[in-house]
Amino acid sequence: MNRSRLACLLDQELARYRDMRQRGDKHGAWSALERAHIISQSTLGAHLRVHGVMLGYAFALRDGREIAGQILRLALAPLGSLTGRIPSGNTGRSNMNAFATLPLPADLAAALDQIDRDR
């Protein structure tokens, strides 16, 4: 994938997360982080970065279940990258099996497909 376009797409979602968090919109903040996670999965560094942000937000919310889930995912992400096991569409949250796949949101699927085609 074209790293610069992918990075821009990721940065947009992380900016949306910061905006939603500042507004006190927990649902919107998590939604942006979930989308950022989907975008980041193809690049280990970005994937770890998103899980780190998720972990920080879980700490800010004092959400013990999410904290534990993010620590586990931070440990599993390198293994998934090394083995090529990337659960497409996975939101990266603790309420979802770390290995489960989901359909991509239509807009993200189109954007990621376009990045692949432009490669």
The per-residue pLDDT for range 48-73, each reduced to its tens digit, is 999 999 999 999 999 999 999 999 99
With 80 as the cut, is the pLDDT of residue 86 above it? yes
Structural domain boundaries, residue 25: 3-118
Model confidence at 24, in pLDDT bands (50, 70, 90)?
very high
Looking at the structure of the chain, the number of domains it has is 1
Contact 29, 17 (CB under 8 A): yes
Cα atoms found within 13 Å of the Cα of residue 28, Cβ hemisphere only: 11
pLDDT for position 53: 98
Model confidence at 116, in pLDDT bands (50, 70, 90)?
confident
pTM: 0.92
How far, in Å, CA of 82 to CA of 78, rounded? 6
- Mean pLDDT within 62-90: 92
What is the 8-class DSSP label of residue 90?
-
